[in-house]
């Protein structure tokens, strides 16, 4: 029976209504388009991205939980 190992990554965004661009990432200062092929090359598969949001007044935040899995090495 196949066993799996998992990797979890969190990404945070903030929204400031006074900024024109809308959401601004506050962590993961990497290019996702570069990161995903690298993780895929290591055998990781993106399973899901789960987002939750909170907000009060002029600012709100969004956190994303990225879940990856890959086959566990036997031996």
Residue 27's nearest CA partner among 62, 69, 72, 67 is 62
pTM of the model: 0.67
Rounded to an integer, the average pLDDT of 10-28 is 59
Given a cut of 70, whether residue 21 has pLDDT beyond it is no
* Burial of 68 per CB tally in 10 Å (0-12, 13-18, 19+): buried
Between 39 and 61, the more confident residue is 39
Q: CA 45 → CA 12, 32, 53, distances in Å? A: 21, 14, 25
Q: Does the CA dihedral 14-20-22-27 come out positive or negative?
A: negative
């Amino acid at each position: 029976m196949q066993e799996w190992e998992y990797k979890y990554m969190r990404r945070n965004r903030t929204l400031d209504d006074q900024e024109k661009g809308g959401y601004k990432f506050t962590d993961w200062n990497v290019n996702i388009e570069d990161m995903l092929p690298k993780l895929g090359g290591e055998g990781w598969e993106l399973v899901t991205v789960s987002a939750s949001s909170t907000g009060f007044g002029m600012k709100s935040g969004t956190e994303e939980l990225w879940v990856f899995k890959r086959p566990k090495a036997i031996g």
